[in-house]
Amino acid sequence: MPAPEESTRDVIPLRVAARAWFAISLQTFGGPAGQIAVMQRTLVEEKRWIGQQRFLFALSYCTLLPGPEAQQLATYVGWLLNGVRGALVAGILFVLPGVVALLVLSGVYVAFGDTTLVESLFLGLAPAVIAIVLQAVVRVGRKGLGHPALVALAVASFVALAGFGVPFPVVVLAAAVVGWALGRRIPTLTRAPRAAADDGPPPLVSDDALHSERPSGRRAALVLVIGLVAWSAPVALAALLFGRTSIFVDQGVFFSGAAVVTFGGAYAVLAYVAQQAVEVYHWLAPGEMVRGLALAETTPGPLIMVVQFVAFVGAYRAPGDLDPWVAAVIAALLTTWVTFVPCFLFILLGAPYVERLRGNRDLAAALAGITAAVVGVIASLAVFFALHTLFDETGRVTTGPLDLEHPVLASLDPAALAITALGCVLIFWRGWSVLRTLGACALAGIVVGLALSA
């Protein structure tokens, strides 16, 4: 029998959802791993707005899309809760604090030439994120890996990414194929693990009910036209106002293209963006991309927000006839727009179709494989983040297919290690919330930073 359909009305009042999404947005430090952990804890476990398997299904679908999967996951869940309005509210609020914070920090950077004014404040945040990411590995793994074969697939994905440098899209596609094949041989592959069950109240968006918004050609055409117009209109307006050869048009076109090839998250595309920004467009000086990435790491929101820093600095230094500060702000906001509008388009266009496919056993098995790969991806991000937070220097071993980054032990940062330990104690032993842990570690970072600079 077909699964029951959910009502067309809001699952929860939109204003209640908006407050929750804003609270989540203030905790989205640490890239996709930390962001997924925050949504898992808030939406699935605390508020019980969405079922665990429904959450993992949405995450697996968003992992297949170009762009920041955590922001797209928020958009998808917002659509499930409140329709198109909910998708827009969730997706916009998810990135808004990061846009504002990085805009301010980019201004500090170009005004003072470095980030020393904010280093003490953020000294404790990066180590705290390690604890948050480790929590994400544990939580998502416990909830999503219901069969030993999926655990093995997660481990294999981690090894492929961390030890052999296999591209993220290859890992995800291979995991989908393996998941599909395993599903044919293991009927219980997609069954939720016992650890995922609990005695709490049923979620508002259950694992079985379908969303009521049916897919149709007319709806898809309308979403596609509105999305493409919204995506391209600011770039066309910039060409009309400032000329087709202005820096705003160059940045709008370049980052529009980057937005549709960012499979594998921000890390997969940053090398390309850095090379083009430095060597082709000369928006940044060599080494400045690393400073921008450091700023993006310490602000909430998707890590791909670093493109806003690139646009801000580039336009500030080549403002044309405009005041440098005006040009920088326009460029930053335009780049943010063309980077994130496609995320809404992909979700609103595809979600109704994907919802109707949730009962397909082959698709469920393939997405279970992708979920296992996501656990491996989060674990590899945890290792990457720990290497570059706890150690000032790293080395690399490349022998045959092996491509392994390792720490230089003599470069260990004791302060970062101590704050990481504090974050782990607060999250895993004391059971503190993510936001509370970030606050405590940030305070510890300020104390340590002031002591070291004295």
Taking only the tens of pLDDT, the chain with its 454 residues reads 344 444 457 889 999 999 999 999 988 775 676 788 889 889 998 999 998 888 988 888 888 788 888 899 999 999 999 999 999 999 999 999 999 999 998 998 888 765 555 666 667 877 887 887 788 778 777 767 878 999 999 999 999 988 888 877 788 889 989 999 998 888 877 765 554 445 568 888 877 766 667 788 899 999 999 999 999 999 999 999 999 889 999 999 999 988 876 655 555 566 567 778 877 888 987 667 767 766 776 678 887 888 999 999 999 999 989 999 999 999 999 999 999 999 999 999 999 888 877 767 888 788 888 888 878 877 887 787 788 788 888 888 888 888 888 899 999 999 889 999 999 999 899 888 776 887 898 889 888 887 887 6
Q: What is the pLDDT of residue 197?
A: 47
Q: What is the pLDDT of residue 387?
A: 85
Q: Which of 316, 274, 275, 317 is nearest to 293 (CA)?
A: 274
293 CB neighbour count, 10 Å cutoff: 18
**Prediction pTM value:** 0.74
281 CB neighbour count, 10 Å cutoff: 15
> Phi/psi class of residue 432: alpha, beta or left (left: φ > 0; alpha: ψ in -120 to 50)?
beta
CB 211 within 8 A of CB 355: yes
Q: What is the pLDDT of residue 133?
A: 75
Q: Which of 229, 305, 303 is nearest to 267 (CA)?
A: 303
DSSP character string of 246-303: SHHHHHHHHHHHHHTS-TT-HHHHHHHHHHIIIIIS--S-TTHHHHHHHHHHTSSS-G
Distance CA(124)–CA(298), nearest Å, equals 10
Q: What is the pLDDT of residue 31?
A: 67
DSSP-derived 3-state class of residue 202:
coil
Dump pLDDT digits (tens) for 346-373.
Answer: 999 999 888 877 767 888 788 888 888 8
